[in-house]
Amino acid sequence: MKITEVRITRLESDGKIRAMASVTFDECFVVTGLKVLEGSNGLFVSMPSRKLPDGTYKDICFPVTRDTREAIQEAVLARYIEPEGESATLTDDELPF
The continuous run of DSSP H or E covering 26 comes out as none
- Is the pLDDT assigned to residue 8 strictly greater than 90? yes
Q: What is the pLDDT of residue 82?
A: 84
Domain 3-83 annotated CATH 2.30.30.240: no
Q: How confident is the model at residue 90 (pLDDT cuts 50, 70, 90)?
A: very low
Q: Residue 84: which of 7, 13, 22, 24 has the closest Cα? A: 7
Task: Give 34-48 pLDDT, tens digit per residue.
Answer: 999 999 999 999 999
pTM of the entire predicted model: 0.80
Domain ranges in the chain? Answer: 3-83
> Across the strands, what pairs with 89?
10
